[in-house]
Structure 1
Amino acid sequence: MNPNPLDRNALLHEHAVIGGHRIAHGTHGSGEPVVLVHGTPSSSYIWRGVVPSIVAAGYRVHVFDLLGYGLSERPWDTAADTSVTGNVAILEGLLDVWGIDGFHLVAHDIGGGVAQRFAVEHASRLRSLTLIDVVSFDSYPSPRTREQMSEGLDVLAKKSDRDHRTHFTRWLLSTHSSPDNFDPAALREYVDYISGPIGQPSFFVHQVAHYDPRHTLEISDRLGELAGIPVRLVWGADDAWQTLERGRALHGAIPGSELHIIADCGHFSPEERPTEVAREIVDMLDSCATRH
């Protein structure tokens, strides 16, 4: 663990209304802008051990919770678009709030779908792209999640709090190379985000319901266009959710990209190995600075 991680209230200390929805966000440090995009079933909380190292390296870090996630709004209207594509618009709106044009983009898990869509549409705005254990092509939802979804999201949303928490505690433990590596306090935090009278139904309506690979498949034939920007893929060697095979396939689809593998690390690499992940991000940022 990073010795000085930020808590969630320190990470996200501001709010903005984007497209009529409240988005929690935060800015840390000064220097070239770096935007971090989290995945599911998490929030920007997953970056708390990474942000201090990037700031210490001389960069300005922007974090936010996706619409329908974490401390951002969980819309009452089920028609609100909290999908990968819908959250591209949230990112675009926040860039205006932050006054950012060119920047470095870093993403994890489903946040990587948001990042890929943004990148192919706005490649000229990116100084670099770092993708960490991300979804791509048709790599999601997993067979296990598809099986669960077949029960019906309404049924899952109404399961007892105890059963829900027990199930997803086990599910989250599989994001680490070893369950023993998952800090118990952090595990409770992740489960709390997707549990309770708001968190549990919101998890299925705003997250699981949008586990649809069309969001990445629609732009998969344009990944070659990213050859013009520095791209680094960072992967946990023991990722059971987005396997290393998936990382190698994405690496092959983006000409000139680099693939860096972190040993003894699962899918939640920013949580399990924050020091190593921060080192990869800072190395990427610094290498871009030397090119210019």
Structure 2
Amino acid sequence: MTADQASRSFVSPRQYPDRSRKLISHLSLLWGRDTCDIRKCADCGFGFADPFVAGGAEFYNLAAPHPSYPTMKWEYERTIEELSGLGTAGKTAIDVGAGFGYFLDHIKDKLFRASDIYAVDYNEAAQQALRSKGYKTFSVDLREDGFTPMKEAFDIIFMFQVFEHMDRVDDVFARLKYLLKAQGSVFIAVPNDIRTHYMEGHGSLIDMPPNHIGRWTKDAFDAVCRRHGLQLSVCEREPFDLLKFLREDIVDSFLRRAEKPGSVSEFVRGLPRSKAQRIGQAMIALALAPSRLPAWAYAARNSSTLGSALWVKIDKGA
């Protein structure tokens, strides 16, 4: 895809023309060219952006200056279930990409003491929210020298919907192994690659770089774990939820259409933000819903693999 196509996935050029121009220019500089490819490893199925370079603070300030985070997700529930059987009393934990700390709120004082919980996030508003809740907070990349915890500092590391954003994958895993105590565990959730392929093949959103640059599979996790002397212990896909799927598909397919220059969807998406604009978008999305029936029929036949998230538990031996 081109820098212009990628930019339209994040910012409406009608609604925010100046920010759109800046984002297109930034993407071209980030990639060192005006295009980016998405490739796939024939051995492990890992999908990756080429060039394999992550978006940084400037990209996210342009593409998504006001992030929002859900308070509960399936991967949170699944992780809490797993933690409940491990015995976490007196153990330390860190959440990388913690957002406003919604997951940590579920485990504080129930599974971990607040004083044993650490958090990493770049967003300034998120850092303030995390500190206000009593979490020890870092605002630097865990791979960098500015991230100061000692070797074998944590029993548990959480990375929910973060790893797909990251480049320098071997550096990440080397750091995870360094930070984990013996018998420690990492819990990672990423987008389900099968769901991504469904979306892109059936007129829904493209999983656009440089926001997501890695498309992880079970085989890819297993390969990188073996390379670093870690063990992939559990790998599960989120169960399929029909109502959640339909809501998301209606919205995402509308947004995909709204990326097309000159379309009615693009025009309505580009109107000034208001209640009327939101109603207009909803009406168009619902009007287009019947055209999604063939895609929904495919999804119904393959529903066992189309949950939103892929969740893994990775362990470090003694």
TM-score bucket (shorter structure): 0.3 to 0.5
Answer with 1 or 2: which has the greater Rg: 2
TM-score by length of 1: 0.34
TM-score by length of 2: 0.32
